[in-house]
Amino acid sequence: MEEHKDPGEEINREEEKEQEYSFLQETIKDETISKKKVKKDIFRMAGLGLVFGLVASLSFSAFKPWMDELFQSNPQKVTIPEEEEEADEATPEDEPEATQQVLDAESYRQMQQSLTSVASEANKSVVEIAGTTGDQDWMNDSYDHKNSTAGLIIADNGQELLVFGKTSIMKEAGDIHIIFSDGHSYKASLKKKDGNLDFGIYAVSRGDIQDTTWSQIKAATLGSSNSVSKGDPAIVLGSPFGYVGAVGFGTVASSKNSAEFADGQYRLICTDIAGARNGSGVIVNLKGEIIGIIDQSVSEEDSMNLVTGFGISDIKEMMQFLLNGQGVPYIGIRGVDVTQEIEAQGIPKGVYVKEVETDSPAMAAGIQCGDIITNINGTDVATVATYHAALMDLESGKKIKIKGYRQGAGGYVDIDFGVTIGSKE
């Protein structure tokens, strides 16, 4: 019997086959059109990249000040390296035999050139700190009336360039500007100050400083004033003669004198170089290292006209506190060592308190003149130097115990005080 096929059914089967093998079908595209499209896509992507770059650049410029301010609260910690112990002096057997050298005019000229070269390199770290009052034009002020002092570039904390200098110009100053050795001036702010020695840290935003200035300045290299002796060569820079940009050569006249301040005694470097009574700046050795910070106010009356400054070794700890925005630990006593001669009079060994500063932590704790301090926060102290060192290991705001003696009706008796360390600003 002959089987009849439905035509509609045949058509459906053909359609199913076409759908089943449709993935094998190939579409031939015009090669010319494809190349044009590729070129068009390339130009389009390049244009988008250019636009993106411009937008990113503008956005970075617009948000940079905001980003600087955001990260300003987390600057890098600044640490002043500890001084290395000096090598033992050579024995007489090790010393080479001295030879006599004849100096002539050419030798003198070469010596002067060498000193000038050292001074020029060290001067890259020296700046002028100028303060303005009211409508004062600091750029056109005469040297006799200019409200300024010399400063020293100490460190870069990643956000600011930090400059060390006297803070006396801040008493009536409005705006502060720092003029670098290349002559460019930048607005600055007083970051932290110490009212005990009247020094502070000034800051200039890194983003404000031009590349031309960066190429001509550097942070100072701090030396050691402990190794300075009478007769050593000395170079003075800054404003030692009452005007900026000066340089002078001479020798160290004395390194044994000291100045007394609250909670410490600071060794002085006195030179034979004549200077101004309002002079400021730095004292440099032949290596170009800073060995002293000039402060004519610490000179005795009969030597006010000779350049004098704090030995750098005695103020490094103070500088490090200020560089990191911390107050310098302060208790507020002026003391003297109880020497063997004084001890022979029946006074216990320690630090004799001869003055207590008004409104100081020492006064608040009840420490009085005539007390003897022997221990600070668990550290025995027998001299002003050891007392100062123990204090510099602490931080302002910390509560500590001070032990000592006080003279009573029957002799000296043990006493102790609870003191909250402060800072003098």
Return per-residue pLDDT of the chain as tens, 425 residues. 445 555 555 545 555 555 554 444 444 445 444 556 655 666 666 666 666 666 555 554 555 554 454 445 578 888 888 777 655 444 444 555 556 666 778 888 888 899 999 999 999 999 999 987 665 554 555 444 468 999 999 999 999 999 999 998 777 667 899 999 999 999 999 999 999 999 999 999 999 999 999 999 999 999 999 999 999 999 999 999 988 899 999 999 999 999 999 999 999 999 999 999 889 999 999 999 999 999 998 887 766 789 999 999 999 999 999 999 999 999 999 999 999 998 888 899 999 999 999 999 999 999 999 999 999 999 999 999 999 999 999 999 999 999 999 999 889 999 999 999 999 98
Average pLDDT, the chain: 83
* pLDDT the model gives residue 90: 45
Reference 250, options 309, 210, 195, 201; nearest CA is 309
Chain-centre distance of CA 55, in angstroms? 38
Query: Residue 204: beta bridge partners?
Result: 161
261-282 pLDDT tens trace: 999 999 999 999 999 988 999 9
pTM: 0.77
Radius of gyration of the chain (CA): 36
pLDDT of residue 299: 80
Neighbouring C-beta atoms of residue 417, cutoff 10 Å? 18
**Distance between CA atoms of residues 216 and 92, nearest Å:** 44
Neighbours of 26 (CB within 10 A): 6
Who's near 302: CB < 8 A, 6+ residues apart?
A: none
Instruction: Write out pLDDT tens, residues 76-107.
Output: 888 888 777 655 444 444 555 556 666 778 88
pLDDT in the model for residue 302: 66
Q: If DSSP states are collapsed to H, E and C, what string results for the chain? A: CCCCCCHHHHHHHHHHHHHHCHHHCCCCCCHHHHHHHHHHHHHHHHHHHHHHHHHHHHHHHHHHHHHHHHHCCCCCCCCCCCCCCCCCCCCCCCCCCCCCCCCCHHHHHHHHHHHHHHHHHHHHHEEEEEECCCCCCCCCCCCCCCCEEEEEEEEECCCEEEEEEECHHHHCCCCEEEECCCCCEEEEEEEEEECCCCEEEEEEEHHHCCHHHHCCCCCCCECCCCCCCCCCEEEEEEECCCCCCEEEEEEEEECCCEEEECCEEEEEEEEEEECCCCCEEEEECCCCCEEEEEEHHHCCHHHCCEEEEEEHHHHHHHHHHHHCCCCCCECCEEEEECCHHHHCCCCCCCEEEEEECCCCHHHHHCCCCCCEEEEECCEECCCHHHHHHHHHCCCCCCEEEEEEEEEECCEEEEEEEEEECECCC
First to last CA, the chain: 122
CA atoms within 13 A on the CB side of 219: 11
> Which tens digit of pLDDT belongs to each residue from 124-147?
999 999 987 665 554 555 444 468
Domains of the chain: 122-214 (2.40.10.10), 233-323 (2.40.10.10), 333-420 (2.30.42.10)
Q: Quick one: CA dihedral 141, 147, 150, 153, positive or negative?
A: negative
Question: What is the Cα–Cα distance from 315 to 134, expressed in whole angstroms?
Answer: 33
What gap in Å lies between CA 326 and CA 406, rounded to an integer?
A: 33
